[in-house]
Every structure is written in C-alpha cells, then in structure tokens.
Chain A
Amino acid sequence: MSEKTIHIQYFALLREQRGTASESIRTTAQTPAELYRNLSQTHPFTLTQKNLQVAVNEEFASWDTPLYDEDKLVFIPPVAGG
C-alpha cells in the first residue's frame, strides 16, 4: 500500500480536540472512514463517524471515497448554522 499525503482541516470541536486547525499527514488509509478510525486511535475525538460528514476537496463526499495523494479532507462535525 502506497503512502500518500492528505491535507486535513479541523473545525469546531474537532479542532479543539486535535489541538490544531490543519495538518498534512502521510498515511496509507484508502478512505476517509479508515483515516478517521486511525486518527481516533491517537487523538481524543469524542464524535464518532456516524456523527460526522466528510468533505474531500471542498465537496461533500462519502466515507468510502478513495483517497488520493494531496487530497484535502475535512471531517464535518454536526452543523449548527443560523
């Protein structure tokens, strides 16, 4: 499995729990679901995948979207606009 670089931005509760607004990581994760599982093992995220949506390259995406080198990824916590 080849490693790729994924650029992640964090917002709201996830930003606070991760302690940073963005990071670029090297990973072998094939999908956002796999990557979130991996990150949850090392960071104190309280939100589970079913609470979140995911965006890849600034568009809503499904959790099993294949990840490619240099993709931009955002895990979207439950929203609360208005």
Chain B
Amino acid sequence: MFELSHSPIAINERQAALQSEAAGGFVSFEGRVRNVNEKRTVTSLEYDSFGPLAEKEGHRVVKEAHEKFPIIAASCVHRTGHLQIGEIAVWVGVISQHRGPAFEACRYIIDEIKTRLPIWKKEHYREGDSGWINCEQPESSPES
C-alpha cells in the first residue's frame, strides 16, 4: 500500500501492520529532513504534491515491487506539508520470507518514489531564502 500523509508518520503502527508468521525478515527505510544540502544550511522543508496522481503512482511502485521480488507485504508513506529538521519525510517497510528480497524491494520502492511521484520539495535556508529542488536549475540537477 501507498499513502500520502499530512500528519507525522506513526512508524510503530505502520510496522505493526506488516505482520506475517511466514516473514523471516523486515526491512525499513526512513527518509529524514536533513539540515544541509549542496553546502547550504537548511532550516526546514516544504512538500507539495499532486495528491491523486502521486497516490496512483505510489500504488504502482509498490505493486511493481511485489511483481519483481518475492516479498510478503510492502508499505510506503510520504509526508506532505512543512517539515522540520529530523522529521520523517518518507517511510518504506517490507516483509519477506528471507532478507534479500526485503532489502531489494525496499531499495526499489524508495528509488522509484523519489523519481516518479509528482511530489516537490522546497528548501528553506538559514539566510532566509528558499528554493524548489530540481526546479531552479532543472538541467544541471536531475537528482537530489
């Protein structure tokens, strides 16, 4: 499953939902708001999203992970709104019988989420200015 969330991600609940007696491995990834990017001090991050399409594409990514890797269940949540340093912006959790596919599927989901979903982030800097990542010099920075 995939979800956009305007409120803080309740990780314990998300993790508890990934239960199976057949699962021998659980892998999760947390993307957090960090205080520096491209040598500039970041004070907060603002996420904007085109909700309906972001959710559709997010579901597709999770479905693809199921098709590509022998996993039992996968879950991903992405935040929207204005986040402070240290807050969790995205969470991915995967359970599988053995650890390998859980690691691979987790990596697949976060990589695809970052490049395919219509979600944008604006960094606010210590100096008071701000900028939309990948939008200000789009040709020179395809990856964040």
Contact = CB atoms under 8 A, between A and B. Distances in A.
- Check if A and B associate: yes
Given A80-B121, A80-B144, A11 B50 contact: yes
A76 B118 contact: yes
B48 A12 contact: yes
A66 B136 CA distance: 30
B128 interface: no
Interface string B96-140: 000000000000001001111111111000000000111110110
Contacts of B133: 80
A47 B138 CA distance: 8
Give the interface size bracket for B toward A: 20 to 34
Given A11-B48, A58-B53, A79 B132 contact: no
Contacts of B113: 81-82
B118 A80 contact: no
Contacts, number: 84
Contact of A11 (B56, B78, B120): B120
B3 to A, nearest CB: 13
A80 B144 CA distance: 7
A33 interface: no
A81 B53 CA distance: 13
B68 to A, nearest CB: 19
Contacts of B74: none
B89 A59 contact: no
Given A51-B138, A79-B116, A74 B50 contact: yes
27 contacts: A11-B48, A11-B50, A12-B120, A12-B132, A16-B132, A47-B135, A51-B139, A53-B118, A55-B50, A60-B53, A60-B57, A77-B138, A79-B117, A79-B134, A80-B114, A80-B119, A80-B133, A80-B135, A81-B49, A81-B54, A81-B90, A81-B113, A81-B119, A81-B120, A81-B121, A82-B113, A82-B144
Interface of B: 31, 48-50, 52-54, 56-57, 78, 89-90, 110, 113-122, 132-136, 138-139, 142, 144
Interface of A: 9, 11-13, 15-16, 47, 51, 53, 55, 58-60, 74, 76-82
